[in-house]
Amino acid sequence: MHSGRIDDLVEKFFRRACTDDEMEELAVWVKQNPDDAIAEVLENAWLTFTDEQPLPEGASERILQTVFSHKIRPLVTEDEERRPGRWFWPKIAAAAAVLLSVGLYWWWSGKANTTTPVAASRAEIKDTDLPPGGNKAVLTLGDGSTIVLDSAGNGSLASQGNTNITKSANGELIYIAGNKPAEAIVYNTVSTPKGGQYHIVLPDGSKVWLNAASSLRFPTAFTGTERRVDITGEVYFEIAHNPKMPFVVKTLETEITVLGTHFNVMAYPDEKAIKTTLLEGSVKVSKAGKSVMLTPGQQARISELSPAIRVLDDININKEVAWKTGFFEFEDDNLESIMRQVSRWYDVEVTYEGSMGKDHFTGRLPRNTNVSKVLKILSLSGIKYRIEGKSIIITP
């Protein structure tokens, strides 16, 4: 491809003016060319954009620093020595990763003008594609009756004791506690299917976001000395401060105790560890008589294979809560880990034919896109796939 053509494509790319065909053309060129050729094109692009500054605030500086200092963390598997390069598409130069992982995110986020995934109707999707998930959940009341929240109308849905349950115009499920003390403890459960997510405001004012294939069991009025809930899957919390009544989150393996804070809990049964990530405040994570205190930016990991609670510092917070803001974010993730997220969000079964190797991927993609967009990006690394109904088959 002529260098002038590439310069034009890169310029259009950073102006978010590329068509889908031009994006694919540029991606193919990056994959087929050596590091020095890619770096030269990016340098030319930088010089072109320096005066005009068309990128989002701060973006041009980050691109410059990353491309020319090459401060890109190399990816390593357990049995490999440290070496640079294996980013979003394996074996692509570091400069190309900046162009196609950082830049591609800006391109897509410019096209996706909302962080709330909106599911397309099945009739609008090709047979070889699948729409993204959306706001879907089932509310199970204390008497065992259920309400499908995504099809329920706005306004009052039910009463549980002295608590009124409403659905707001923007789809939130809100519990409004009455002035009288609760006569009896009544428990409700909100469950999201694969391909679903939901936002709940609890009777104490705490806010909760459920990711796909998750559940939250909670009392319709908090009484006594603590506020206790049970979860499965992945849930993000913003807890209303109440020092007289600590908030306790229970999973199958852990308890998390807080007074008022923001944190994320990932406890899917098909993942290797339960992760509690703290964004604000402090939490105590406990298991089998052992506990640790977390400070913001830390993560506690608990594995079924070990009774120890491992604490990690300097966690990539954006990655851990990307699902809540409407994105997939990958960092050194293997294919199986990525496809577990895809399976939950697109409500699809994933199977593998043959060995998938040890490639790792880094990048950021919006969740409000059809599954073919995600798979097409992965396919640039040589991964092959096919969609058959509600199944995705990955081949080497």
Instruction: Kindly report, residue by residue over 366-393, the tens digit of the pLDDT.
Output: 899 899 888 887 777 778 899 998 999 9
Specify whether 61 is located in the same domain as 210: no
What pLDDT, in 10s, does the model give residues 198-251? 999 999 999 999 999 999 999 999 988 999 999 999 999 999 999 999 999 999
pLDDT value of position 161:
87
Specify whether 1 is located in the same domain as 143: no
Specify whether 148 is located in the same domain as 77: no
Where among 271, 294, 318 does a domain terminate? 318
Where among 250, 284, 318 does a domain terminate? 318
**Orientation of helix 3-14 relative to helix 35-52, angle to 10°:** 50
Domain of 27, in residue numbers: 1-111
Structure tokens at 18: 């590329």
Between 303 and 45, the higher pLDDT residue: 303
Specify whether 46 is located in the same domain as 159: no
Residue 117 resides in a domain = no
Specify whether 310 is located in the same domain as 201: yes
- CB–CB of 242/205 below 8 Å? no
- CB–CB of 30/38 below 8 Å? yes
User: How far are the Cα atoms of 80, 96, 97, 210, 373 from residue 91, in angstroms, in the given order?
Assistant: 15, 10, 10, 36, 21
Instruction: Please state the domain count of the chain.
Output: 2
- CB–CB of 282/311 below 8 Å? no
pLDDT value of position 119:
40
Please determine, for residue 325, whether its predicted confidence score (pLDDT) is greater than 80.
yes
Specify whether 100 is located in the same domain as 62: yes
Residue 379 resides in a domain = no
pLDDT value of position 46:
57
Please determine, for residue 258, whether its predicted confidence score (pLDDT) is greater than 90.
yes
Q: What is the mean pLDDT of the chain?
A: 79
1/266 Cα distance (integer angstroms): 46
Please determine, for residue 11, whether its predicted confidence score (pLDDT) is greater than 70.
yes
CATH assignment at residue 279: 2.60.120.1440
Residue 351 resides in a domain = no
pLDDT value of position 356:
74
Residue 256: exposure state from Cβ atoms within 10 A (0-12, 13-18, ≥19): buried
pLDDT value of position 363:
79
pLDDT value of position 1:
52
Specify whether 234 is located in the same domain as 150: yes
What pLDDT, in 10s, does the model give residues 106-153? 444 444 333 334 444 444 445 578 999 999 999 999 999 999 999 999
pLDDT value of position 49:
53
pLDDT band at 29 (very low <50, low <70, confident <90, very high): confident
pLDDT band at 3 (very low <50, low <70, confident <90, very high): low
Please determine, for residue 98, whether its predicted confidence score (pLDDT) is greater than 60.
no
- CB–CB of 84/94 below 8 Å? yes
Residue 391 resides in a domain = no
What pLDDT, in 10s, does the model give residues 34-70? 656 776 776 666 556 544 444 444 444 444 444 433 3
- Which of 13-17, 76-80, 184-188, 306-310 shows the highest mean pLDDT? 184-188
Specify whether 273 is located in the same domain as 168: yes
Residue 57 resides in a domain = yes
Main-chain dihedrals φ then ψ at residue 65, nearest 5 degrees: -60, -40
Structure tokens at 227: 């506020």
Residue 326 resides in a domain = no
Specify whether 191 is located in the same domain as 313: yes
Specify whether 101 is located in the same domain as 194: no
pLDDT value of position 43:
62
- Pairing of the two strands 227-238 and 196-201: unpaired
Residue 42 resides in a domain = yes
**CB atoms inside a 10 Å sphere around CB 365:** 23
Residue 139 resides in a domain = yes
pLDDT value of position 16:
64
Specify whether 196 is located in the same domain as 301: yes
Where among 318, 338, 360 does a domain terminate? 318
User: How far are the Cα atoms of 90, 270, 285, 308, 311 from residue 289, in angstroms, in the given order?
Assistant: 43, 24, 10, 11, 16
- Sequence letter at residue 382: G
Specify whether 178 is located in the same domain as 247: yes
